[in-house]
């Protein structure tokens, strides 16, 4: 999940080539022998029966389905919509025309937001925001030549709930430090989120009303971007686990500055109470944005482990036991933030494809097969 700001900045710097040189795939229509070209699907993307672009400009990411599968919530910094940094929006998938209309904003329009998710009943949305820390967008981390790529861990982030029009705002977390990256169990009873309240970036769960907070992970490193399994019994998340004294010191020094380097992360699973912790990937580089397949047997995630220069990022499938790695996307840009619809028929994700050579990252809806 996290960090839309950072990932889009990374895609802007590294993935401005858009589609690269790969040619689009040719597909036969089901009711005709004629061959048509789907300009959004690339050779090797055999899991996509069709692919629809949903947004058309700016950086758009972390799109997540409503419980009924009819709506999406996402974050965008599209300057054409008058935005300076990420804000939360929602829209109905059927009939959406985000190339010509601005969707409904859910967040306040102040500060920076991240990681929205539908609450049970699909009438309210959970998200994290810095707006209580000030109306302005918190500054992006400074990039220095030769320094690692960095994400900002803003301590003014707290978790909120609002209705679909942004009204009736309710604050769920109010302690000092970073609280964000929240998602909700399929049963609608638990929230998992990342917090620095222990002094490190750890996973926590809480009840749907913000009560009964419990710490789930407790090893040094950045644990974040967690999602529940379809049966609600397990969590999948990304983690950086510095091992050597030098790595641990570098991690702690950055965290003390409200920063983290997301260049070395692997995928983990555990039970909702934190037990049975298992490392799923051992691929190297950045493996993140994991999500369970609808049957819970596999995990789809984003990775640059095949990339010599840190990009491109592709989507991959892997069995929960770490076997059967399969590459899903094959464009030469950035693909991340995958989520399956509740019925498993669709996959929404963010990509640099079809951006006309710009630095835009847009939402795409794939019919899954």
Confidence band of 97 (pLDDT split at 50, 70, 90): very high
SS3 label, residue 174 = coil
pLDDT of residue 91: 98
Query: 185-194, pLDDT tens digit by residue?
Result: 999 999 999 9
Give 4-42+55-353's CATH code, choosing from 2.60.40.2580, 2.60.260.20, 3.30.300.180, 2.120.10.30. 2.120.10.30
pLDDT value of position 253? 96
Q: Give the predicted TM-score (pTM) of the model.
A: 0.91
The answer to whether residue 289 scores a pLDDT higher than 80 is yes
Question: HSE on the CB side for 47, CA within 13 Å?
Answer: 19
Using the predicted structure, report yes or no on whether residue 13 has a pLDDT greater than 50: no
Residue 9: band (very low, low, confident or very high) from pLDDT cuts 50, 70, 90: very low
Residue with the two structure tokens 């709930």 = 161
* 26 pLDDT higher than 50: no
DSSP percent split of the chain into helix, strand, coil, nearest 5: 10, 40, 55
Q: What local confidence, expressed as pLDDT, does residue 148 receive?
A: 80
H-helix or E-strand containing 5?
A: helix 4-14
Q: What's the pLDDT at 120?
A: 96
Q: Which residue has the higher pLDDT, 147 or 91?
A: 91
- Which of these, 194, 160, 205, 355, lies nearest to 288 by C-alpha position? 194
Residue 365 C-beta-side C-alpha neighbours within 13 Å: 20
Give the burial class of 321: count Cβ atoms within 10 A of its Cβ; 0-12 exposed, 13-18 middle, 19 or more buried.
exposed
Give the residue extent of every domain in the chain. Answer: 4-42+55-353
pLDDT digits (tens, 9 = 90+) for 191-209: 999 999 999 999 999 999 9
Buried b (16+ CB within 10 A) or exposed e, 166-195: beeeeebbeeebbbbbbbbbbeeebbbbbb
Q: Which residue has the higher pLDDT, 253 or 142?
A: 253
Mean pLDDT of 60-64: 98
Q: Is the pLDDT of residue 37 over 70?
A: no
């Amino acid at each position: 999940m996290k960090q839309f700001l950072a990932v889009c900045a990374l895609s802007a710097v590294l993935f401005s080539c858009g589609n690269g040189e790969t040619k689009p795939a040719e597909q036969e229509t089901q009711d005709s022998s004629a061959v048509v070209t789907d300009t959004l699907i690339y050779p090797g993307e055999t899991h996509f029966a069709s692919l629809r672009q949903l947004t058309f400009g700016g950086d758009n990411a972390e799109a997540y389905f409503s419980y009924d599968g009819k709506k999406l919530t996402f974050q965008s910094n599209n300057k054409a919509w008058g935005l300076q940094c990420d804000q939360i929006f929602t829209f109905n998938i059927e009939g959406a025309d985000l190339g010509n209309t601005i969707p409904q904003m859910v967040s306040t329009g102040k500060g920076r937001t991240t990681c929205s998710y539908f609450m049970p009943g699909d009438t309210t949305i959970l998200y994290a925001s810095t707006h209580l820390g000030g109306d302005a967008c918190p500054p992006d981390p400074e990039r220095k030549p030769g320094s690692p790529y960095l994400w900002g861990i803003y301590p003014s982030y707290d978790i909120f709930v609002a209705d679909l029009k942004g009204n009736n705002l309710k604050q769920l977390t109010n302690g000092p430090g970073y609280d964000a990256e929240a998602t909700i169990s399929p049963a609608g009873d638990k929230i998992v989120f990342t917090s620095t309240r222990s002094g490190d970036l750890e996973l926590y769960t809480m009840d749907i009303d913000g009560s009964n907070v419990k710490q789930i992970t407790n090893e040094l490193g950045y644990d974040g971007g967690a999602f529940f399994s379809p049966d609600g019994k397990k969590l999948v998340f990304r983690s950086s686990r510095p091992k050597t004294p030098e790595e641990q010191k570098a991690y702690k020094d950055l965290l003390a500055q409200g920063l983290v380097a997301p260049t070395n992360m692997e995928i983990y699973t555990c039970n909702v109470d934190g037990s049975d912790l298992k490392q799923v990937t051992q691929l190297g580089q950045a493996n993140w944005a994991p999500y369970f397949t609808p049957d819970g047997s596999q995990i789809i995630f984003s990775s640059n482990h095949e990339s010599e220069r840190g990009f491109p990022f592709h989507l991959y499938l892997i069995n929960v036991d770490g076997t059967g790695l399969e590459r899903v996307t094959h464009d030469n840009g950035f693909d991340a933030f995958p989520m399956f619809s509740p019925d498993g028929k669709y996959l929404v994700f963010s990509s640099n494809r079809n951006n006309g050579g710009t630095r835009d990252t847009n939402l795409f809806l794939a019919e899954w097969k």
